[in-house]
Structure 1
Amino acid sequence: MDRHIKIGTRGSKLALWQANWVKSAIEKSGNGEWKAKVELVIIKTKGDKILDVPLAKVGGKGLFVKEIEEALLDGRIDLAVHSMKDMPSEIPEGLCIGAVPERETPKDVLISGKGLLLSELPAGACVGTSSLRRAAQLRRARPDIDIVPLRGNLDTRLKKLEHGDMDAIILAAAGVKRMNFESRITEYLDEDIMLPAVGQGALCIETRENDPEIEPVIGPLNHQETRSVVMGERAFLNCLEGGCQVPIAAHGKIERGIFTLSGLVADVDGKTIIQETLSGPETESETIGTDLGNCLLTMGAKQILENLKV
C-alpha cells in the first residue's frame, strides 16, 4: 500500500536536516507492508520573519511552531518536525507529541574565535547569544563579560563570529553536530555552568491526535527513554507556564530506573538563580517534573517569572 505523507518544517538548513532525517526514517520503516512517498512542506514562522529583534522582545509563545501547527490542524500537512526546545509548554487542542526520537547531546557549547575556553576569555569579551537562559547563566559564571544579541541561523551566527563581531558564541551542541560543525566547538559547557533548555537536543514529531494513518508510521521512530525524560522536563516547564524565551532550564536523565531532574529559573541579569534537583521512579517523570516546578515556585521562582511579565 502506498502512502503520501506531507511533513511540515521550517526552511532553515538545520530544520531541513531534521525533517529529512525523519523522512528517511519513515521511508525505511515500512517493513515491506507499505511504501511511503514523503514530501517536505516548508512553512515560514513568525520567528523566521523577525530577525532584527531579540526573541524575548518579540513576545508570544510558539514563535517557531504556530504556523506549522495551523497547517497540521487544517490538514495541509500530516505531521510536523520541530526542535523540542522550540515547543511551548501547551500544545493546541487536537494535536499531540506523536513521537520523540533518540536524543542528541542536550549540552550547550562555546565556540570562540581564538579557541579560548569560557574561563580563559578576557574581561570585557563579547559573547553572542539571544537566549535569556544562556545569558543569565553566563552572567553568573562570568559577570565580567559583555553579552551581545545573536540571531539568525547557524551559518549566520558562525559568520558573525568569523567577522570579529564578537569573541565567542554559545550554541546548542545538537545543531552544531547535525550540521557537521563539530570541529568548530571550543568547549562543551558542563551543566553546573550552563543547564540546557527543556527538550534541547531532542526532536518533536507532532501529529493530530488519534490519527490512525500516521500513528503506525511514526511509532517506530519513538525512543521511549528519551520521551520519558523529555516529558518530565516539559511537565516542569508547564508547571512554570514558561515558553522557550524565558530563563528556564531543565535536564533529566534516567539511570537504573531512576529519573533525576535538575531545574533552574533565573532573573535576566543572573543575580538570582533558583535551582533544585528531584529524583524518583522513571515511570513518574511527569509527576517529578511538576513537583520540581512547584518546588522552585515556592523557593522564589514565582516572583522572578511575574517580574518578567511586567
Structure 2
Amino acid sequence: MRRYSRITGTGSYLPPRRLTNADLAAELAARGVETSDEWIVERTGIRARHFAAPDVTSSDLGLEAARHAIEAADCRPQDIDLIIVATSTPDMVFPSTACILQAKLGIHGCPAFDVQAVCSGFVYALTLADSMIQTGLANRALVVGAEVFSRILDFSDRTTCVLFGDGAGAVVLEASDRPGILASDLHADGKHVGILCVPGNVSGGKVIGDPLLKMDGQAVFRLAVGVLESAARAVLEKAGRTDADIDLLIPHQANLRIMQSTARKLKLPGDKLFVTVDQQGNTSAASIPLALDAAVRGGQAKPGDTLLLEGVGGGFTWGAVLLDL
C-alpha cells in the first residue's frame, strides 16, 4: 500500500510586541528616516507587524508554534520522529535551530535539521518531510517556519525595514493511506543572489561584509509574479487538478500586490486569497505556516479543502505545494 502524508495539526505564534505603521514611522523619525502609514500601505498592503524582544530567538518562537500544532494533532512531543525547521535567522551558526527546538520540546533521538531557502523555506521543508514520510523514513514530522527578521533589518533603509516582522508557524505531518500532500514543485536560480540577500558572515570572531538585509524591490517583484504562477501551474498539472479545484490560495505573505497578481492569473476570486500580510508583514519562512494556521483556526480552510501554498524568496528560490486538508 502506498504511503502518503497529511497535515493533522497546525500552530502559530507571534511575539507580543505589535507595531503599527504609525508606531514604526515614529521610531524611524527619531532616527531621521521618513515614512508614513499611507506610503507603506500603498506599496505593500502592510499595516502592522510583530517584533520579538531582544532575548527571544527563532527557537523560542518555534517552540510555542510547535506546541500548538502538536496539541492540534492530538499527539505528544515524544510521538514526533522528524523535525525540520525553515529559518534564515537561526539561533546560532550551529547547531541547527531544529536541534535546539528538539531539546526544548524534550524529544530525543529523531533526526532534526534546518532548511535555508529564505521565504520559500517552509515549502521546501514541507516537501522534504512529505518525501521522508512517503519513503518510510518518518511517520510523524514537525515542520516549522520561524524567523526573527527584525535582527537583520537596516532601519536607515525605509524601503526594506518596513516590510518584515517576526513569528513562527508549524504543522504536524503524519503518514496516511489517503493523499494529503498532492504535489510539490521546487526551484532555485542562484544567478539572482544579489537582488535579495544579507551579504555578511562571521570570520575570526568578526562580522565580514554587511550583516543587514539588502533588496532590489523592483527586481524581486518582477521575478516573483512570473515564477509563482509557473509553480502553481506545475503542481496543478502534477496533481491532475485545475484552477477551479483550488479552495484557498495561501501564498508567502510578502506584498499584497504580488499576491493579488497571482490570484488573478489563476482566475481566483478575492475570497479565495488568504491574506495576513496586512497585520504581520513579511515573516519570511514563517509566513505560510502562520497564515495556514490562521486560516484553519478561523474556519476559512476546512477539512477536505484543496489548498495551494506557494513561496518565493532570496536565492532566488521558489516553489509550491498543493494539498488536501
TM-score by length of structure 2 reads: 0.25
* Larger relative contact order, structure 1 or 2 (CA cutoff 8 Å, min sep 6): 2
